[in-house]
Chains A and B, each alone.
Chain A
Amino acid sequence: MSFFTFPNPPVSPEAEQLRGDVRAFLAEELKTMPPHRRAASWSGFDADFSRKMGQRGWIGMTWPKQYGGHERTSLERYVVLEEMLAAGAPVAAHWIADRQSGPLLLRFGTEEQRRSVLPRIAAGELFCCIGMSEPDSGSDLAAVRTRAEPVEGGFRVNGTKLWTTFGHRAHYMLLFCRTSGGPSDRHGGTSQLLVDLKTPGITIRPIVDLTGAKHFNEVVFEDVFVPSSALIGEMGNGWHQVTSELAYERSGPERFLSSFVLLAELVRVLREHPSEQATIAVGRLVSHFVVLRQLSRGVAWLLQNGRNPAQEAAVVKDLGALVEQEIPDIVRSLVEIEPGSERTAELARTLHYTVLAAPSFSLRGGTREILRGIIARGLGLR
């Protein structure tokens, strides 16, 4: 009767208890951080903040204890994630490793990789970046050109990765590359390597984005020697692995909370005399969030049960990006932002940031069109 499964996850009293601890922590940590900075949410990089989260056991929460994890449920982890994002906590440093690099290593990595890397990720001390996109390989990830030539004792890597978020502050890259064949081989001949970014031959150049921030980078590999121990999983199995990595990347709650801080600021300004139109608009958006949470918790529950929720995750991300992206214009339609007005000053700053950031919401982690293509495949159309 239904193409996709969104289970109704059970109530988790442990998770709800945790929520209180997380809120108390955030209230203290974010005390002095103004909304327009919190609006950057998971683009905000703060290594100290990440270390504190690690100390509290909020990174690698679901991983086995032997790898520094905390063996908590995916619903408990979900609570920490959503509380962080809704508050606009600067989680970027550990975010990628916690969300996708760690789980990928747990699933496909060697024992040595798991033992050396995962505990440090969980401690909030080791940060990872995603090495997928390239100049000629964006949506078409299988067109990857970066090549890791097998040589004595390892690989020699040449090529360029692009848009690598916080590549300049990360310790490791999970590099998706070609170990045999050429771009016409598509999915075949690709592999993943765990690359220490201190390795000689790697040049990292920041790219300024249109908000003026430096978070993504160009990462150039010139005859970089990477030892065989860096191979993640199996040689030639890269496509299968990177697809699971993307499923981890796309299934999180951050896929609809990017503009939440702005919505909260809107409510602050509206509070005294909300018009009927504003009340209806806020009610509608809150209704969207209620249902997105329901679906997203369903995705977390699928992950908990070892299922691959790639389709469901694409649905949530597509729906979520639409809501994230319409919030700025809804704010504009409800509040007259006048230069110099004290009352709307912080709303204006938060709006300004969110307007500029919004185009990326339906690009990063797979564009809207690509996600809809994935959904269409799930519908049996392609």
Chain B
Amino acid sequence: MGDKKVYRVLIGKPGLDGHDRGAKCIARALRDSGFEVVYTGIRRTPEEIAMAAIQEDVDVVGLSSLSGAHMELFSEVVDALKKHGASDIPVIGGGIIPEEDIEELKKRGIKKVFTPGTPMEEIIKTFRELCENK
């Protein structure tokens, strides 16, 4: 017991967006790569996602949004984590996100953003690197 660290991550969908295929697809791919994935389902508030991330002590939070509300919702998760003393948990995101928004999201503390077509290996690699560096 304890000779190999198991990484724990959370996949969440903030806001009213009901597109959950991408989020579930990422969750499964992470599980199949050996991660323990807490999936919090659709229609959560940023605060709910942040509290779940804290209780589950995850190494990374991954957010998915396809509805266009990513700017507010993603940064609100970052802010909520900070508010609860957990700004050390990195946040990344994905979904339908216009190129021009990505820079601004990074400025607001989202470490990386993935749009459709990104190879799954690249996404898994990012999660793994963030977990290792934590």
A and B bound? no
**B interface residues with partner A (beta carbon < 8 Å):** none
**A interface residues with partner B (beta carbon < 8 Å):** none
